[in-house]
Structure 1
Amino acid sequence: MTATAVTAQSLDWRYTDGAAPEHWAKANASYAACDAGKMQSPIDLNQANAIGDIELSTNYGPAKAKLSLGQHKVQIDAAADQGMVSGDRQFNLIQVHFHTPSEHAIDGKRYPLVAHFVHATDDGTLGVLGVMFEEGEANPGLQAIIDALPQGNKASFDIDLAEMVPEELQVYRYMGSLTTPPCSENVNWHVVEEVLEASPAQIAVMEQALGMSARSIQPANNRLIVAPAD
């Protein structure tokens, strides 16, 4: 199983060489937060300093999706009638994209793949739900994306987004940033504790499509990091 070549996209930042994460702030003045920010992501979630269950629900389900490909980018755009409620705030789904390996770590461990469900409230506040994957059984939602890859950029396909999210949503919660330039802060991060499975072949396809696409772990800087209760 192989992935199609992604659409070329000119970026002034990368994950390796002279444009790697530690150099992002030098690449463009608008990326200053990547170096100067104090609420950067990702972090190691073993630094949690509080425990508590967070009211979180989603209404993910079947959707018409469109594929968006680029350098370090496998993304699906879906209709905004799905999303999540965190506390009493409605976050509307904008897109889902992937990184290899996972960006956040749990007890120092990064997993081979992560899906980031990116949302925004009506006033533009961002909220991300991160779901990590480890090797195991094939994931049908992920397979729908992989099957669309040979059709190339802008391919339309059907997917059930609920297949890429655990039924039980026990999450780590903290305030952080975008993990790619411009590294904007005040992002509401929710990282699911339960790790889903994807087959080795599925993970290999995503690794081929994305390459190394995870930012280095950032300092917690005494932020409130809430771990799920046992």
Structure 2
Amino acid sequence: MKGKVLLAALLAASFSISAAEQHAHWSYEGQEDPAHWGKLSPDFSLCETGKNQSPVNIQGALKTHHGKLELAFQPGKQQIVNNGHTIQINVSEGNTLRLDNDTFTLQQFHFHAPSENEIDGKQFPLEGHFVYKNKAGALAVLALMFQEGKANPQLAQAWQQMPTAVDQPAVLNKPVDLKALLPKTFKFYRFSGSLTTPPCSEGVSWLVLEQPVSASAEQISQFRGVIHHANNRPVQPLNGRVIVD
């Protein structure tokens, strides 16, 4: 009898979770596209009302002497997944970013094609977002632009196992070497922004690397072929925010 009660409770819980997920479904196309996100769920209201939203067009950056970017890399297991919105690679602990005397740990990185952020009105064919979190739960996103050119050997490793099916994660046979993927110099733009997907939470520290790296037309096309559509949110108003360089 206890087993039946437990089963009923689990079924009820899974139904309620499914209902919540269904209610909060969002997309990059049609009636659930970025222009409608703020109305899809009360949880997504910031997508419409927020004043510090991302992505942005980076222009007129204020020259400052902000601290250098301190990144530490730790090889470890990586898991690749197609979550229906992007290709995401989840990482094991040990990859860190030092910002404002605080340590942020890399959680995952994922991709958008075309780029979400723009630099002086220029949109890149692909952008990577490295999502870091500190112990208090605050987020910092390091953005990397890809320009069309030579094939990227690090992307090639991940793309070999790029899942076409949604929500079927796979462990990468050969993890992406993050240090080799990023450019050698870490000059960056910085601004305060938000998540670029619902619920569009604000208070995210954005660091956009100035120097792009290359990816081949075939690699970019392969990503877009798996996602089936552009997966970029349009640029958002700055609303008086200052971008520093």
Same fold (TM over 0.5): yes
Letter in 2 for 1:188: S
Runs of 4+ in 1 over 3 A off after TM superposition: 49-54
Deviation at 1:122, TM superposition (A): 0.9
Name structure 2 gaps, 5 residues minimum: 1-20
Q: 2:120 aligns with which of 92, 107, 124?
A: 107
The Cα shift of 1:32 comes to 0.4
**2:198 pairs with one of 178, 181, 193:** 181
Other-structure match for 1:68: 81
Equivalent AA in structure 2 for residue 218 of structure 1: Q
TM-score between both structures, scaled by the size of structure 1: 0.90
Conserved 8 A contact 1:63-1:159: no
- Relative to its length, the structure with more helix (as a share) is 2
Deviates more, 1:142-151 or 1:200-209: 142-151
TM-score of the two chains, using structure 2 as the length reference: 0.84
What whole-Å deviation, never above 9, does each CA across 1:26-83 have from its counterpart, x for those lacking one?
1111000001000000000014244434321212353320012121220000112112
Q: Bigger shift: 172-181 or 143-152?
A: 143-152
- 1:151/1:104 Cα in 2 relative to 1: closer, same or farther (>3 Å)? closer
1:224 CA drift (Å): 2.1
Residue in 1 that maps onto 2:170 = 155
Superposed CA offset, 1:178-210 (max 9, x none)? 000000000000000001001111111111122
Query: Greater CA radius of gyration, 1 or 2?
Result: 2
Note if 1:35 corresponds to 2:48: yes
**Equivalent runs, 1:64-213 vs 2, <5 Å:** 64-149=77-162, 153-157=168-172, 158-210=175-227, 211-213=229-231
Q: Which 10-residue stretch deviates more, 31-40 or 203-212?
A: 203-212
Deviates more, 1:39-48 or 1:151-160: 151-160
**How many Å separate the matches in 2 of 1:98 and 1:47?**
26
SS at match of 1:91: strand
Question: Percent identity between the aligned chains?
Answer: 37
Q: Which amino acid aligns with 2:51?
A: K
| Cα separation, 2, equivalents of 1:154 and 1:216 | 28
Which residue is 1:4 aligned to?
none
Q: Which sections of structure 1, spanning at least 5 residues, go unmatched?
A: 1-8
- Taking the aligned partners of 1:149 and 1:43, their CA distance within structure 2 comes to 28
Residues 44-59 of structure 1 mapped to structure 2, 5 A cutoff: 44-59=57-72
Distance 2:34 2:164 in 1: 31
> Aligned to 1:216, which of 211, 230, 234?
234
Supply the distance in 1 between the matched residues of 2:158 and 2:68 (Cα, whole angstroms). Answer: 29
Please identify, of 202-211 and 114-123, the stretch whose mean Cα deviation from structure 2 is larger. 202-211
Higher relative contact order (CA 8 A, sep 6+): 1
Corresponding residue for residue 3 of structure 1: none
The alpha-carbon distance between structure 1 residues 70 and 140, as it changes in their structure 2 partners (threshold 3 A), is: same
